[in-house]
Structure 1
Amino acid sequence: MLSQLRDLDLQLLRLFVTVVECGGFSAAQGELGIGQSTISTQMAKLETRLGFRLCERGKAGFRLTPNGEQVLAATRRLFAAIDTFKDEARGVADKLLGELRIGLSEGLATEVLERVAEAIGRFRGRNQAVQIELLTAMPAELERRLLQDQLHLAIGYFSGNQAALECRPLFRERQVLHCAQGHPLFEGGEPSLQDLQRADRVHHPYRLVQTREPLQSASSSAQTEQVDGALAFILSGRHIGYLPEHIAAPWLARGRLRALQAEALGFEVQFHLARHRGQHPGDAQQALSEDLLAAFAT
């Protein structure tokens, strides 16, 4: 009685199916590449393993016993299931699985979001079944979440002080100093550097870690890391501050904002695709990273 299926049993069952499909031992010799006596010996082994005869062979010709008919049908189902398993296993091996948590810096330009969307579209075109979570946060928060392995990837501008982060450049964003309608510097000619240094400026604590803002005025009673917060302070008419060009553009068009020494005091911020160096990237993370880099390279 066959109580456990072994590799040898599968080999014997395949021989049995071939013999049946060829119509007998003699006819199966060419297909199997072995002699009739060897085929007979192998069939006897299989029948011993099963505990019953599978076929009658002799002068009357080759024919299956009732048990043989049942084993033939069961064997064909078995091999079909094995083929299905191999196909599915092969598909799983080629399929990207799991979850991805991606952080985006708040206040990104429309064209940047379009590139991110393009990358997601490319990724979804792959053989994948990945759950993706997107969240927006301030740069310092994105950096913290990366370091605590709460994010797989993040797009933002980072302090550059964390050796634990691997950063790959994606795009640059220009920042320009602005004031709003109602501010003393809104009207008249271009203000001097001294005028700007005396003005109450919106303070960005995270950006100052990088010391990238050309105007380093000490006069500040307003503090925020968020673009929306900076815009609100500036629109109050009581503060000057830096804004990304794409954020300021609609307000400039409406006459509510004025750029201050844009050429001299404007600067660019490099945005990166970042990940934690200590976190081993899975196949899905690597694939999405490739798609993001490709989207921003075009």
Structure 2
Amino acid sequence: MLSQLRDLDLQLLRLFVTVVECGGFSAAQGELGVGQSTISTQMAKLETRLGFRLCERGKAGFRLTPKGEQVLSATRKLFSAIDTFKGEAQGMADKLLGELRIGLSEGLAAEVLEQVAEAIRRFRGRNQAVQIELLTAMPAELERRLLQDQLHLAIGYFSGNQAALDCRPLFRERQVLYCAQGHPLFEGREPSLEELQRADRVHHPYRPTQTREPLQSAISSAQAEQVDGVLTFILSGRHIGYLPKHIALPWLARGRLRALQAEALGFEAQFHLARHRGQRPSDALQALNEDLLAAFAI
């Protein structure tokens, strides 16, 4: 009785199909490259494994038993399924599969988004069937999700205090100090450093570069993690604060914002491509990581 299918059984079944297609033991000798006695012995082994006769052979000629007919049909289905599996498995060997969750820092410049889009274009040009999810969040949230393995990659500025994160420098973003129309420092001469230090500045609780900000002021009655919140406080005319240069640009063009000592007090925020060191990267993740670095010319 055949309870387990082994490689030998598959070989015997292939011999059986060949014998049937050739019309008998004698006719199958040339196709199989073995003698009639060997074919007879192999067929006997298969019948022993199955527990019943597959064919009648003798002076009346070769013919299948009813059970032999059923085994022939089942065997052809089996070999067809094996061929399908081999084809699909070969396709999977060369194909990127799975899903990727990518985090983006909020308020990225248009050119940065274009570079991310270029990386996705490159990735979609590969042999792949990958589901990609993009999530936009504050840097602190991106860092938390990376550490909890809720993201595979993230682009943002990070604290640098997490040894579990592998951070690759990607690009720099210019940060400038601004005030808005209605603020006492908006009109007139360039304010002095002492005047700026006395101004009420928007505090960003996460900004990892805060210790490197040229303007250090203890006066702050406003706090915002997101760039939209910082901008809103500044536009109120009651606070000064740092904004990415590309965020402030349209408001500068409308005459609503003023840069404050842009050269002396501006600074560069380093953005990174980060992933969790403890997370084993899939082939798809490695490929997208390569495409992102290529899109940013790294």
Sequence identity of aligned pairs in percent?
90
Offset of residue 284 of structure 1: 3.1
Offset of residue 166 of structure 1: 0.4
Which secondary structure does the structure 2 equivalent of 1:191 belong to?
A: coil
Q: Does 1:205 align with 2:205?
A: yes
User: Taking structure 1 as reference, are residues 50 and 204 closer, same or farther at Cα in structure 2, changes over 3 Å only?
Assistant: closer
Residue 71 of structure 1 is matched in structure 2 by 71
CA contact (8 A) 2:102 2:151 kept: yes
Amino acid at match of 1:200: D
Offset of residue 76 of structure 1: 1.2
Residue 185 of structure 2 is matched in structure 1 by 185
Residue 296 of structure 2 is matched in structure 1 by 296
Residue 224 of structure 1 is matched in structure 2 by 224
Amino acid at match of 1:241: G
Residue 260 of structure 1 is matched in structure 2 by 260
Residue 36 of structure 2 is matched in structure 1 by 36
Offset of residue 115 of structure 1: 2.3
CA contact (8 A) 2:203 2:222 kept: yes
Residue 16 of structure 1 is matched in structure 2 by 16
Structure 1's consecutive aligned runs of 4 or more residues displaced over 6 angstroms after TM superposition are none
CA distance in 2 between partners of 1:259 and 1:8 (Å): 81
Offset of residue 154 of structure 1: 1.4
Offset of residue 269 of structure 1: 1.0
Q: Where do 5+ consecutive residues of structure 1 fail to align? A: none
CA distance in 1 between partners of 2:44 and 2:145 (Å): 66
CA distance in 2 between partners of 1:143 and 1:158 (Å): 7
Offset of residue 61 of structure 1: 5.1
User: Taking structure 1 as reference, are residues 72 and 225 closer, same or farther at Cα in structure 2, changes over 3 Å only?
Assistant: same
CA distance in 1 between partners of 2:218 and 2:210 (Å): 16
**What is the RMSD computed on CA atoms of the aligned residues?**
2.5
Q: Does 1:155 align with 2:159?
A: no
Residue 278 of structure 2 is matched in structure 1 by 278
Offset of residue 125 of structure 1: 4.3
Residue 109 of structure 1 is matched in structure 2 by 109
Amino acid at match of 1:263: E
Amino acid at match of 1:156: G
Offset of residue 249 of structure 1: 0.8
Which secondary structure does the structure 2 equivalent of 1:205 belong to?
A: coil
User: Taking structure 1 as reference, are residues 37 and 165 closer, same or farther at Cα in structure 2, changes over 3 Å only?
Assistant: same
Alpha-carbon displacement from aligned partner over 1:11-69 (angstroms, at most 9, x marks no partner):
11101122233343344334323222211211122233334443444566544445434
Moved more, 148-157 or 128-137: 128-137
Alpha-carbon displacement from aligned partner over 1:192-248 (angstroms, at most 9, x marks no partner):
323322322222232265522111123322222221111111111122211111100
TM-score (structure 1 length as normaliser): 0.88
CA contact (8 A) 1:207 1:213 kept: no
Matched length: 298
Alpha-carbon displacement from aligned partner over 1:244-298 (angstroms, at most 9, x marks no partner):
1110011011111111222222211111111121222233332332232222228
CA contact (8 A) 2:159 2:208 kept: no
CA distance in 2 between partners of 1:178 and 1:235 (Å): 9
